[in-house]
Structure formats: structure tokens, C-alpha cells
Amino acid sequence: MNSAIGKRQVDYAFRQLRVTGWPHALAVAITAYVIWRNAPGLDVILWFVIFLLAHGLRILLLDRWWQAAQTTEEYRRVRWQLVASMAVAGCCWGVVPLLFMHNVSGEMVIFISLVLAGMICATLPALAACLPAYIAFATPIFLALIFHYYSLGLSATAFLSFAFLGAMLAISTTVHRIITGYISLDLENQTLLQEVTRARDDAERANQSKSSFLAAASHDLRQPLQALGFFLECINVRVGDSDLEMRTLARQALGSHESLSDLLNALLELSRLESRELNVRRQHFLLRHFLQPIVNEFQSLAQAKGLSLVLSGDDAVVETDPVLLARVVRNLLDNAVKFTADGSIVVRLLPEADGVQLTVTDTGVGIADDDQHKVFTEYFQVDNEARLASRGLGLGLSIVSRICRLLGHALRLNSTPGIGTTVVVSLPRGDASHIQQAVHPQQLDVAGHCVLVVDDDPVILQALAALLQDWGCTALTAPGMDDALACLNSAGPTPDLILSDYRLDGGVHGIDLIRAVREKTSDDLPALLMSGDTDPALVQSIRRQQFHLLHKPVKPVQLRKVMHQLLTGPS
């Protein structure tokens, strides 16, 4: 038998027979004992011994054949072996009335009739899955009973037995259909489960491929973008205030670089949000004091479009992740500036029962009711069918929505086309006594320090060296570990700080470099790693080893701030 359902039917029958085998042997022993008590004789002993031998061989051999069939898939043979063995068992029971039912008025007629009827009914649940096996078992018993009843002159009882045979066959057919239906449903469920599992595995492989591609693309894109940022900052520093045209061009180039960096970070941030790889670090802080610098960042963009941008409302303490909240506010302000042609943008702080409402209201184009639920999805933009680059990628509100869900902050949007839009974020109230006093250095002065710069990308190495020199530092540059150690062996100055890329040529990591340099200098020499790799496992590994890490593209002001902290504070 090659049918999957047929195989399951045989399996079902054998599993049931494993349970009923020993009770069946017990029934044989009890029957033999009762018959012996009524009419002892050699025929009772022979029947008992022959039945137990046949039963024992069936249990030992047939079960072994079934286990072999599960490996070889030869179910057709074992199915008919089961039918034959049950026919033998039925014949063994069938000879009982012929041998031991002699006195028509005695108790043996009732006892043997009840025993055989019980065996026929008790075997039904076990063998109904394999209907031929049940018929092979029950038919010899019924035929022997009917024949013997007639021979004893019990015609009515014989007819009743014949009717009982028909009823049991009908019942067994119904039970067989029910069990087969259950088996079919179970096979369908298994097929569906396999399809779901296969689809899940395909999705996981696709997600892993996407993550691998994203990591590779991220690294390859961040490298030239990082070098460009450093070069532009050098130009901005070196162009004097007297050359206003060049100063303006330098600042515009820096602005374009900032926009490009933000777009790349937005794409990567969306991926990290999807994979739940962002860590939430909640803090207590003053909200207005926190928001003012962010609002100031967008003042020049708003003024360039003739818009007023104000922050209103009393200060209040909130508890949330300041880094993620800053991303939310920047995305909301960026969206408001892009989609507001004239009028105003107002950031308000409104107290509520258990927290503070942060609202951003603009007088922009507004959003139609049908589109309001779409603006929080990726890449959707209102009124930007041409996909103008200046309007972004349509990721801002999607990132806002995902971050708010991650932080557990309620997010609402109210908008009217042609009038404007208000986005409301509800923040939980914080505790003023838990506010951490931030260290704000008055001047990020790093001049006079010697920095060992190691990067296998010659363009970034050149850009970093030029930038550090503009900041008044001495830069010792090296493309790899061997050159870095050679710098230490020379008569040159001893570095005050190590600034290294994480992945270097030859499979060397920045951590290996730092440890090698510290062995030749000092164990507490400050060190800073930069990497374009955003693999969460890598980031966690670096942080576990307590190394400082900045993700490329690193903004020059951010690099200078971290360098200042490392050079002036504990390493």
C-alpha cells in the first residue's frame, strides 16, 4: 500500500493492538478457566495453549514486521499479514461454541455468547481503522455462532446473531470512516504545517539575506560618506569668513552631506526597528530644556522658507529614552518643514493627568482622511508622486510610529487638508529627583594632543589626518597594525589617544590593535573605535569589552566631543 492514508490506518491499528494485546490474552485465560470449571478436558487445555501460542507469535512477529515496514515503506505486505493474523484469532474464538457449547439450556450458552459478543465489540475500536482486519476477525466468530445456534435448534437466536453481524459491520464501516476522516485531517494539518514551516524558513532566510546585504551595503556606503564629511569639515574650517561665497558653498555642501547621512541612517534605523535590535534606555530629564536645541537645529531651515518655528509651554520632567525621542522630534520637525509652504510650526508642551503631551503643529498641506492611516507606513508620501529627493524617502512618520510603539507612547494625528497637521505624542511624567546632571564641556578643545589614527581606507585616513590637524592635534597615521606599531618604535611623539577603524586588512580587528598598542604604551591609553558595521552581535561584543564605538558616518562635532571626553576624563 502506497497511500499515506492507508499507511496511517495500519499504524493506527497496530498502536491500538499494542494496548489491547495483553487484555486479550487475559480474556483467553479467563474463558479457558470458566470452561474448565464447567467441563474439564484435554480439549480445553489444547485450545488454551494453541490460542496463547498464536497470540504470542502475533504480538512478537507482527509487531516486528510493522516496525520494519515503517523503515522500508512496505505497508502492503504488513497490511495483509495483519488481516491474516486477525482471521486466525477470529477462528480461534470461533471454535469455542463448536467445542464447548453443548447443553442448550446451560450457563455455557450465555457465557460463551457474552464472551464472543464482548470480544467482537471490544476489538472494533482497535481494528476499525483497518476494516478488512476487523471483518476477518469478526466474521468467523459470527458464522460459528450462527451455525451452532441452528444446530442446537435456536433459530431465533441464530437470526438475531445474523442481525447483530449486519449491525456490527455497519457500525464498523461508520467508525472506519470517522477514523479515516481524522487521519485525512491530520495529514492535511501536517501538510499545512510543513508549508507554514517552509514559508517561515524561507522568510527567515530572506530576512538573513536582507540583513547581510544591508550590513555590506551599509559598510560600503558609510566609508566614502565618512571621508566626504571629514573633507567638507576641513574645507569649512579652512575657508575664511572673508570669502562669503566659498563659505556659503561649504556650508551648503555640509548640509547636503548631512541630508544624505540622515537618509542612510533612516533606512538602517528602520531595519533595526523591524528586527527589534534597538535598546531602550529610559532616563528622567527636563523636556523643554531637552527640546530647545533640537528646535534650534531647524530654525535656519524654517527661516529659509519664511516659516516661524517656536517652542511653547512650561518645562516638565518626563521619563523616556532621550536618544529615541530626539529621533521622533527631529522626524516630526523635518516633516513639518518639508510640507509647510508658509505660516508657522509650533512645538507645544501640554500637561495631562499622568504625563505631558508633546505636539507638533504646522500650517502645511494637511492630509486627507483616507491617507491619514497611510502616512505611518514606509515610503508613503502625501502629494509627492514625482518622488522629489528634497522631500525624503517617506520614512519619517513610519520611524516615528515604530519608535513610539517601542517606547509605549501613544501617538495621534489630526489633520485637515489645506489647513495643517498636528501630531501628538503622550509622554509619561518623570521624577525630578532622578534627573542625571549632564556634563556640558564649555569648550571641546583637543588641541595639543597626539592621536594615533589607523584605517585601511587611505581616503578616510587622509581626511581624518587633515581634520585632526585643523583641530590642533598631531596625527600619526597608519593603514594597519604593523605600521601603527612601527610608529611607536620610531622617535616620534607618544600618542594620547588611539582612533581606529574596527575592521582592518589581514583579518585584524581594531580591538587587537588597541591591545597591542597598549602593551607598548600604557594600559589606560584612551581608545576610540569607528565602524560602518551595524551588526548587533558585533556592537554588543564591543560594548561588553568596554570599548568606545562610533558608527560611521560620524559627524565631526560628535567625534570631537567624544575625543574631548576621553582625553579630559577617565578612559
Q: How far apart are CA 89 and CA 138, in angstroms?
A: 9
Closest CA to 59 of 87, 86, 33, 29: 86
SS3 278: coil
Q: What is the pLDDT of residue 418?
A: 86
Q: What is the pLDDT of residue 428?
A: 94
In single-letter form, the type of residue at position 264 comes to: L
SS3 350: strand
542 and 415 in contact (C-beta within 8 Å)? no
Strands 317-320 and 283-286: antiparallel
Q: How many other CB atoms sit within 10 Å of the CB of residue 242?
A: 7
In single-letter form, the type of residue at position 55 comes to: H
Q: What is the pLDDT of residue 571?
A: 42
Q: How far apart are CA 10 and CA 538, in angstroms?
A: 53
Q: How many other CB atoms sit within 10 Å of the CB of residue 491?
A: 4
Q: Would you write out the chain's pLDDT as a tens digit for each of its 571 residues? A: 447 777 777 777 777 777 777 787 888 888 888 888 888 888 888 888 888 888 777 777 777 777 666 666 677 777 787 888 888 888 888 888 888 887 655 777 888 888 888 888 888 888 888 888 888 888 998 888 888 888 888 888 888 888 888 888 888 888 888 888 888 888 888 888 888 888 888 888 876 776 666 666 666 677 777 777 777 778 877 776 667 778 777 777 776 777 667 656 655 655 555 555 556 778 899 999 999 988 988 888 899 899 999 999 999 999 998 878 888 898 899 889 988 989 999 999 999 888 999 999 999 888 888 777 767 665 445 554 433 334 443 456 778 888 888 889 999 988 888 899 999 999 999 988 888 665 443 467 888 999 999 998 888 888 889 889 988 899 999 999 988 998 888 777 889 999 999 888 888 888 999 999 999 888 889 999 988 776 667 777 787 887 888 877 788 878 888 898 888 875 4
SS3 39: coil
Q: What does the block give as the cell for 217?
A: 551595503
Give 455-511 as a DSSP string: -S-HHHHHHHHHHHHHTT-EEEEESSHHHHHHHHHSSSPPPSEEEEESB-GGG-BHH
Closest CA to 360 of 428, 423, 292, 296: 423
Where are the extended beta strands (E) located within 146-267? none
Q: How far apart are CA 363 and CA 35, in angstroms?
A: 102
358, with CB counted inside 10 A (0-12, 13-18, 19+), is buried
Q: How far apart are CA 223 and CA 229, in angstroms?
A: 10
Q: What does the block give as the cell for 346?
A: 509650533
Closest CA to 456 of 489, 476, 475, 481: 481
Closest CA to 319 of 435, 481, 202, 465: 435
Intra-chain end-to-end CA distance of the chain, in Å: 75
CATH code for 278-434? 3.30.565.10
Q: How many helices (H) and strands (E) does the chain have?
A: 17, 12
420 and 342 in contact (C-beta within 8 Å)? no
SS3 345: strand
Q: How many other CB atoms sit within 10 Å of the CB of residue 495?
A: 24
Please state which CATH class domain 450-568 belongs to.
alpha beta
Residue that has been written with the C-alpha cell 453443548 in this structure: 102
Q: How many other CB atoms sit within 10 Å of the CB of residue 396?
A: 24
Residue that has been written with the C-alpha cell 457474552 in this structure: 114
Domain boundary assignment for the chain? 4-153, 278-434, 450-568
Residue 301 DSSP code: H
In single-letter form, the type of residue at position 499 comes to: L
pTM: 0.47
